């Protein structure tokens, strides 16, 4: 006899993610993951100036804002035939890198590590989950100190962001055609100073902390595996064409080049007007709460019809880097190492900036066209598909990393990577902490995923079983 248990809210970042697990004898046999929040960004964008897309789309989310800015800028630049000068590429990378850094620190210390240590008897640590605590009291105290210290270091990353972004989050620095800030020695030196401080924290605090957690919870390195499919659309382009993150796909162990033509979304089990799998350039977003099979606002993105995992672990796998496993702590470990990789890269990019050289080129080849922006966001692959007519948006579709990891099961009934990662998990705790550790390792963000809170569906999930 299956027993239903619900985890809500699932994420420590904000509320709309709901996980429904179906258990038998303490083992998860099935899972449904639902986003209870609909936002409708794709409709908001229609009819607006294409040049404003980096600003509008950043409002999808405050923790990955600059990822949307750069992806929108790439889409608009392709549609309107714009070229970015070398300084512009580097400044955009520096803005996005500092945003990645604040995101990864927040994810690790505020949203993930509390799954593995016991904080003091104060908010936000209470009520405590007492099950499966493996750190000593002294180690718990140290982790708590680092938890609070991470606020400061994430703020330092935002300060670096604001040097070239004007403010953080939702900066003003990334625009179609380049970057709006000029380069001078003072900005370069301040950014470098912040990054040196951040690198010190990574080496002295973060890496020892994540090593400790990995040692105490070794089985989580492989608990919560995905489906063996990984995707990265690449990112952090440098003058000359190379990128820090490569692009590629691995499907069932086989590597292949990425081609966006193979990206589709269907809405069979989501709350939208029904349609089969469609390429984002052909797809619409028409909410329909009455769809009988619907159980989430997140559509079902697929690559060649298959679910794919995205994020730091996927990027490491695609890059051919050594990974420690494929489960929850393998994701957390990959995110920690990626943090260092990005922070170190910024120091090289700073050296390549040319003070005084142009950062922006507003010349356009045309006023109408089609563009595709693809860039890795903090949580994985992000795509913006735009069609522009006379400078205005007439079609826009967005596929976010959390939609890729956590969309609805598709027309064939295939589960997302996130739903699959819970299958077979043995649960001993009352609060399903084991499942929480796995789902939170993806760093889920459901405001991004459906880009008006619906009070009815928050608590009245219509799931078909
Ligand atoms: Ni709201 Fe985002 C990132 C995007 S969601 S955080 O990273 O796009 O997956």
User: Per-residue confidence at 10, pLDDT binned at 50, 70, 90?
Assistant: confident
- Cα–Cα distance measured from residue 320 to residue 392, given in angstroms and rounded to the nearest whole number: 41
Task: Characterize 99-124 residue by residue with b for buried, 16 or more Cβ atoms within 10 angstroms of its Cβ, and e for exposed.
Answer: bbbbbbbbbbbbbbbbbbbbbeeeee
Give the residue numbers of the binding site.
42, 61, 64, 398, 445, 448, 451
Residue 451 has pLDDT above 80, yes or no: no
Complex ipTM value: 0.95
How high is the pLDDT of residue 464?
36
SS3 content of the chain, % helix, strand, coil (to 5): 40, 20, 40
Lowest mean pLDDT among 157-171, 193-207, 440-454: 440-454
Q: Is 61 in the pocket of ligand 1 (CB under 6 A)?
A: yes
pLDDT tens sequence across 250-292: 999 999 999 999 999 999 999 999 999 999 999 988 999 899 9
Rounded to 10°, the helix 328-352/312-319 angle is 70
Q: Is 400 in the pocket of ligand 1 (CB under 6 A)?
A: yes
Give the percent of the chain with pLDDT over 90: 88
Nearest to 68 by CA among 452, 453, 449: 449
User: Per-residue confidence at 15, pLDDT binned at 50, 70, 90?
Assistant: low
**Any residues with CB less than 8 A from the CB of 242 and at least 6 apart, and which?**
none
pLDDT tens sequence across 221-257: 999 999 999 999 999 999 999 999 999 999 999 999 9
| Pairing, β 3-7 against β 27-35 | unpaired
Architecture of domain 3-459 in this structure: Orthogonal Bundle (1.10)
- Cα–Cα distance measured from residue 13 to residue 111, given in angstroms and rounded to the nearest whole number: 7
Delimit the domains of the chain by residue range. Answer: 3-459
Expressed in angstroms and rounded, the spacing between residue 158 Cα and the centre of ligand 1 is 17
Nearest to 403 by CA among 373, 425, 383, 433: 383
Q: Which of 396, 448, 449, 451 to mutate to test the pocket of ligand 1 (most atoms within 8 A of CB)?
A: 448
Expressed in angstroms and rounded, the spacing between residue 401 Cα and the centre of ligand 1 is 6
Q: Is 379 in the pocket of ligand 1 (CB under 6 A)?
A: yes
Question: pTM value?
Answer: 0.95
């Amino acid at each position: 006899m299956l027993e239903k248990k619900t985890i809500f809210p699932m994420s420590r970042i904000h509320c709309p993610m709901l996980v429904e697990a179906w258990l038998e004898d303490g083992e998860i046999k099935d899972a449904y993951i639902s986003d209870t929040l609909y936002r409708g960004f794709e409709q908001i964008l229609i009819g607006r100036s294409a040049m404003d897309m980096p600003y509008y789309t950043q409002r999808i989310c405050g923790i990955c804002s600059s990822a949307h800015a750069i992806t929108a800028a790439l889409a608009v630049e392709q549609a309107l035939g714009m070229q970015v000068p070398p300084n512009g590429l580097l400044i955009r990378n520096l803005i996005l890198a500092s945003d990645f850094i604040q995101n990864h620190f927040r994810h690790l210390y505020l949203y993930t590590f509390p799954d593995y240590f016991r904080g003091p008897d104060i908010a936000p640590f209470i009520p405590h989950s007492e099950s499966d605590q493996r750190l000593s009291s002294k180690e718990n105290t140290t982790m708590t100190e680092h938890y609070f210290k991470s606020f400061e270091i994430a703020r330092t990353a935002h300060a670096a962001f604001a040097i070239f972004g004007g403010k953080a989050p939702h900066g003003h620095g990334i625009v179609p055609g380049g970057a709006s800030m000029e380069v001078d020695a003072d900005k370069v030196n301040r950014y470098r100073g912040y990054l040196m401080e951040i690198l010190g924290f990574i080496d002295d605090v973060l890496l020892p902390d994540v090593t400790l957690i990995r040692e105490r919870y070794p089985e989580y390195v492989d608990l919560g595996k995905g489906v063996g499919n990984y995707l990265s659309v690449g990112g952090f382009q440098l003058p000359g064409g190379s990128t820090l993150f490569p692009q590629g796909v691995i499907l069932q162990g086989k590597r292949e080049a990425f081609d966006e033509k193979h990206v589709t979304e269907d809405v069979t089990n989501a709350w939208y007007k029904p349609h089969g799998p469609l390429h984002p350039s052909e797809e619409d977003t028409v909410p329909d709460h009455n769809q009988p099979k619907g159980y989430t606002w997140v559509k079902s993105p697929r690559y060649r019809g298959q679910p794919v995992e995205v994020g730091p672990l996927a990027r490491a796998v695609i890059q051919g880097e050594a990974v420690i496993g494929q489960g929850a702590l393998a994701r957390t470990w990959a995110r920690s190492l990626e943090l260092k990789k990005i922070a170190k890269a910024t120091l090289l990019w700073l050296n390549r900036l040319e003070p005084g050289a142009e950062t922006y080129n507003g010349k356009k080849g045309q006023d109408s066209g089609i563009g595709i922006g693809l860039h890795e966001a903090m949580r994985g692959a992000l795509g913006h598909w735009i069609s522009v007519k006379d400078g205005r948006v007439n079609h826009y579709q967005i596929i976010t990393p959390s939609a890729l990891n956590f969309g609805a099961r598709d027309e064939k009934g295939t589960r997302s990577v996130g739903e699959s990662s819970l299958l077979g998990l043995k649960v001993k705790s009352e609060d399903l902490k084991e499942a929480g550790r796995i789902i939170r390792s993806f760093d889920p963000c459901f405001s991004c995923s459906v880009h008006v809170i619906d009070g009815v569906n928050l608590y009245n999930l219509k799931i078909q079983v």
